[in-house]
Chain A
Amino acid sequence: MRALAAVFLFVLALVAFEGGCPVVPAYAAAPVTDTTPADEPTASRPGAPKLTVADYPTYRGLNSRLTVWVAAQLHLFFAAFVLGVPIFVLVIEFIGWRNGDSRYDRMAHEFIKISMGAFSLTATSGGILVFALVVLYPGLFAYLTRVFGPIMMLYALLFLAETACLYAYYYGWDSMQGRRKPGHMLIGLALNVVGTVLMGLANSWATFMMAPSGVDAQGAFAGDVWAAVAGPLWTPLNLHRFLANIAYGGAIVGAYAAYKFIAAGTPEEKVHYDWMGHTANGIAIVALLPLPFAGYWMTKEIYAYSQQMGITLMGGVFAWLFIIQAVLIGTIFLAANFYLWCGMTRFDGANRTAHLVKYIAGVLVICFLVWFTPHTLVMTARELAAIGGAYHPVLGPLGVMSAKNTAVNIMILATFLTYQLFRRAMIRSVEPWMARATRFQVAVYVAAVANIVWLGIYGYYVPANVRIGLSVPQVMTTLIAIVVCVAIDEVIAARSERIGTVHWGRMPVRAQYALFTLAVAFTWLMGLMGYIRSSIRQHWHVYTVMRDASADAFTPTIGQAAAVVSACTLLFFALILFVFWLSGFGRDRGARTALAGAGATP
């Protein structure tokens, strides 16, 4: 019955979205005989309010910006987690169902159980955010409501549908096995569709504030809600957040598995949580690999919308934040690879490929250092004189996008190579063509790296707008190399013989801290990038149409922003560790015993 209710609500929401619900305000449909020029606000089509400091109430000495910032960031952390997890849970459930392997099913169930624990915190933080906006920024909230009122109503309805789907999906898990499994997966699909639509709706408010559409230069809303939703940055942000949510969900459940592994009291538990951590790390990395490209697209669209905003982002004071970003992403890559390298100790045959690890580590570190190198530095006259110019004579060229794009593509290839070695450690080629295919794969790697490096060097000799465009063939080179190597690997793996035994649970504890590193760095990175995305509006609530007249309209220093991001991360980890701890009261002992002694790769 719960499942039926969820489906009913979902269908109701879809009907409302299609037209059953008035998504356009009534006044927009009424005949208009207004002869006022389009950029002049009128009584029926008022512009964005022009606020003064007096329009911003204060509440018990709370810093308004800080309150909304922390509430929004916490909500985004939890929302990303609870939207990302069901996506890969459904995939894992499907794999288990297709293969008839109940271990996948149980792992998927445990993943969604953690997500359930975080769901109420998502709703709570969302409620705090809305109340904080209404109380502390009433002018802004009123304007956003004027534009997005119908969408906000739809959002509330869809949130109900999301809740119903999630409850039906989780509580129906055990009873909807066997012949009822496809029905259960349909509920999972509905959960993901509703969740993704919810994300898209909420994204439209953020992108409207960055790049308003559907309003004129004065902020007067013309009445077309869709025009306001589908702004120039909406689709890139949707894609970026969709991928990031999956990667983030993988990283957090990886941290859960790591915590459980460390706290495990029996070898069976270690086996189970080792496998879970391995799967979670894989999910996080697979979703992470295309993320930089989604980021490039987003940045390109920001430049296309407003060069001034783009330059503020990449060339002004915010440019330094990308050095912090480089450190965080470098940490993520190194932690994920370190975990995989540690994971090779599970295989008896791993010594055949283990010697290559040091070279991959070297490549990763070199690429990280290139990515980390700043270009245009804000320096004092003394520093300028000491360096001999605005750029460092040796390291300066490494700071430009050509070098950074080259470095990140090679990092991605190196990480993928680690995965390949990991897989190869488990199998042995039995036919001569397999050796030739492997040599072809090596050639693909060499050609890909050569092409990426050549395009990087070429970038130094062409104008900036051409140079930015070179990131596309570099990315395509990386993706083609990965797709070709995966295809060849699949064919080889299907015809090879397995060697040795996989000893799940034979994993050092330090590898579990690598999983935690991944989760912490991901969370901090999300907080940082969220701050950058939001603050490039500078002193505008809604860029160019509604100015922030509050006392907090200034841009904080990097250190101040970092302190807030850290506080949000700490708060999130305190709450999520509480969720992890609570999940220990669950009933998954069956899952752990089922995996006990499992020798083959699950």
Chain B
Amino acid sequence: MTGLFRVGSYSVGLIGLFTAFSYYGIPQLVPEPPPTEERMTDAMTTGEFVAAGARLYARACVLCHSGVGDRAPRLDAIATVWRERIGDARYRGSAKNLEEYLRESMLEPSAYVVQGFGKPGTGDGESPMPAATTGALALNPGEIDAVIAHLQSAAGAEVTVAPRAGLAAGAGRPQTEAFAGEKAPDAVAALQKFQCSACHLLPGLAVEEGAQLPGPDLREIWKTAANRVAGVNARDFLAESILFPNKVVAKDFEPGLMPEDYGDRMLVAELQMIVDYLTQER
């Protein structure tokens, strides 16, 4: 029994070491929750529509189209390169403009495969990307439109798609509750609704003199927002900072303090109003 006790104790100690390393040696990232379906309505503004597309893009596309690890081509210059691509001898599609090219790329990814990104052994003739309407992506037509709108907007091109009513739902995904609740009438009301001034100094909202707030001062964020992350404009930076607050954390401020569920609680229109308001020159 002594031998059994010794090897048993040793095993428990070793298992404890592996567990401790997994807890304390590895960052405890919280994976994204299962996706919900974006509800598109024809009452959405273009800004709301683009923001919905940005959320879909972040959920379904960024894993590959991030520029990391040669996984898939970046899309930030798509507004200029699409013309070269449809003129390429390897192009097998029928797109005539950027919107058609983006839609075709999502529905028939092999119509044009950027050099070096094809399936191994196909000579860049076949794309490893599944059609965006199938498989784990399973975007519905309204969501595809929204992603196109986001990509056009992010690339600085004119947004040529608009939300349509009555589009089919996705593959069994529960619908998001994001649009529930009373919409704030203006940006200041929206900032108050989400109690932003509890942590930030904000334009148009008074705060007790000398208060020490846990979040950065945003009264003049319009001056610096465009320069915070290379290649990201001020509006996108602020929208992302609200939806994914830990992605970029301001110097001298603690990460993890700002709630990460604004994407679920905030109406698209409210997000747009807040972003418009904060990026306004004063």
Interfacial residues, chain A to chain B (CB-CB below 8 A): 50, 217, 255, 258-260, 262-263, 303-304, 306-309, 311-312, 315-317, 320, 323-324, 327-328, 376, 378, 380-382, 385, 390, 463-465, 468-469, 513, 516-517, 519-521, 524, 538-540, 543-544, 547-549, 553-559, 561-563, 566, 569-570, 573-574, 577, 580-581
Task: Flag if A258 contacts B26 (CB, 8 Å).
Answer: no
B246 touching A323, Cβ below 8 Å: no
**B33, A554: Cβ atoms under 8 Å?**
yes
The segment out of B79-87, B128-136, B183-191, B192-200 that lies at the interface is B128-136
B31: Cβ under 8 A from any A Cβ: yes
Q: Is B8 an interface residue (CB 8 A)?
A: yes
User: A376 CA to B68 CA in the complex, in Å?
Assistant: 8
> Digit string of B160-195 for contact with A (CB within 8 Å is 1, else 0)?
000000000001111000000000000000000000
Question: Which residues of chain A are within 8 angstroms of B120 by Cβ–Cβ distance?
Answer: 465, 468-469
Closest 10 CB pairs of A and B: A263-B3, A562-B22, A539-B34, A464-B70, A555-B31, A307-B128, A544-B135, A559-B23, A566-B19, A50-B172
With contact pairs A544-B135, A547-B171 given, residues A577 and B29 touching in the complex (Cβ less than 8 Å): no
Interface 1/0 per residue, B264-277 and A, CB below 8 Å: 00000000000000
Q: Is the beta-carbon distance between B14 and A312 smaller than 8 angstroms?
A: no
CB pair A308 B29 closer than 8 Å: no
Contact partner of B71 (CB less than 8 A), chosen from A315, A517, A570, is A315
Q: How far is the CA of A376 from the CA of B31 in the complex (A)?
A: 16
Q: List 17 A-B contacts (CB under 8 A).
A: A260-B3, A311-B63, A315-B68, A316-B63, A317-B29, A320-B27, A324-B18, A381-B250, A385-B251, A463-B116, A465-B120, A516-B7, A538-B136, A539-B34, A544-B134, A558-B23, A569-B15
B221 located at the interface, meaning its Cβ lies under 8 Å from any Cβ of chain A in the complex:
no
Cβ–Cβ contact A570 & B15, under 8 A? yes
Q: Nearest Cβ distance between residue B8 and chain A, in whole angstroms?
A: 6
User: In the complex, which residues of chain B have a beta carbon less than 8 angstroms from the beta carbon of A524?
Assistant: 15, 18
Which B residues, 119 to 177, have Cβ-Cβ distances below 8 Å to chain A? 119-120, 128-130, 134-138, 171-174
Q: How far is the CA of A323 from the CA of B2 in the complex (A)?
A: 35
Whether A570 lies near B63 (C-beta < 8 A) is: no
**Residues of chain B contacted by A519 (CB below 8 angstroms):** 11
Known contacts A521-B14, A573-B11, A308 near B19 by CB under 8 Å: no
Q: Find out whether the CB atom of B19 lies under 8 angstroms from the CB atom of A577.
A: no
CA gap between A320 and B25 in the complex, in Å: 10
Report the minimum CB–CB distance from A361 to chain B (whole Å): 20
> Contact partner of A577 among B7, B22, B34, B116, CB < 8 A?
B7
Apart from A547-B172, A554-B34, A577-B11, list 5 A-B contacts with CB within 8 A. A308-B136, A311-B69, A320-B26, A539-B35, A549-B172
Query: What are the residues of chain B within 8 A of A554 when measuring CB–CB?
Result: 31, 33-34
Q: Contact between B28 and A558 (Cβ–Cβ < 8 Å)?
A: yes
Contact A544 B138 (CB under 8 A): yes
Give the distance in Å from the alpha carbon of A320 to the alpha carbon of B31 in the complex. 12
Q: Which of B6, B27, B34, B255 is the one whose CB lies under 8 Å from A553?
A: B34
Given A308-B137, A539-B34, A547-B173, the answer on whether A562 and B11 have CB atoms closer than 8 Å is: no
The answer to whether residues A577 and B33 also contact, given A50-B172, A517-B14 and a CB cut-off of 8 A, is: no
Highest count of chain A CB atoms <10 Å: which of B18, B136, B171: B18
Q: Are B23 and A324 in contact (CB under 8 A)?
A: no
In the bound assembly, the distance between CA atoms of A327 and B24 in angstroms comes to 14
Nearest CB on A from B127, distance (A): 9
Contact of A513 with B249 in the complex, beta carbons under 8 Å: no
CB-CB under 8 A for A312 and B63, given A307-B128, A520-B11, A563-B19: yes
Q: Is the CB of B63 within 8 A of A381?
A: no
Q: How far is the CA of A107 from the CA of B16 in the complex (A)?
A: 33
Please name all residues of chain A whose beta carbon is closer than 8 Å to the beta carbon of B172 when the two chains form the complex.
Answer: 50, 547, 549
A262, B8: Cα distance in complex, Å: 12
B64–A308 touching, CB < 8 Å: yes
The residue of chain A having its C-beta at the shortest distance from the C-beta of B70 within the complex is A464
Task: List A contacts of B4 (CB < 8 A).
Answer: 259, 263, 577, 580-581
CA separation between A465 and B130, bound complex, in Å? 18
Residues in B14-68 with C-beta less than 8 Å from chain A: 14-16, 18-19, 21-23, 25-35, 63-64, 68
Complex Cα spacing A201 to B251, Å = 55
Q: Is B248 an interface residue (CB 8 A)?
A: yes
> A547 CA to B14 CA in the complex, in Å?
37
Q: Which residues in A have their C-beta under 8 angstroms from that of B135? A: 306, 308, 543-544
Do B174 and A549 touch (CB < 8 A)? yes
Whether a CB of chain A sits under 8 angstroms from the CB of B12 is yes
Query: Given A308-B135, A324-B26, A544-B135, are A390 and B68 neighbors across the interface (CB < 8 Å)?
Result: yes
List residues of chain A with CB within 8 A of the CB of B7. 255, 258-259, 262, 513, 516, 577
B18 close to A328 (CB less than 8 A): yes
Q: Which residue of B lies closest to A312 (CB)?
A: B63
